[in-house]
Amino acid sequence: MATLISKPARKSVVAEVPKKVASTVSKRRKGETVDSFLQALGLEKYSITFQAEEVDMAALLHMTDEDLKAIGIPMGPRKKIHLALEAKA
């Protein structure tokens, strides 16, 4: 009877990259920035607010309605932002 010798499985380099970093890298590849996101919604006039608050796409994805309200984004634009973010999910 022949004995089978198996080689140890190779680890994927991608699997070793923390999810947060991998997520950020993939978003950058797509070229999505807060500025481009807001521009696509016709809300580019709020870009300066997000820049002043140092909000990037990673942070924007986790912002609540209250967070947006706290930085001075009016109700209509807040709703547009949340609808667009939900559509991306």
Taking only the tens place, the pLDDT of each residue in 28-38 is: 436 799 999 99
Whether 6 shows a pLDDT value over 90: the answer reads: no
Which pTM was predicted? 0.65
Query: At which residue do the structure tokens 């608050």 appear?
Result: 53
Mean pLDDT, range 69-89, rounded to an integer: 95
Which residue ranges form the domains of the chain, and what is each CATH number? 22-88 (1.10.150.50)
With b meaning 16 or more CB within 10 Å and e meaning fewer, what string describes 63-80? beeeebeeeebeeebbee
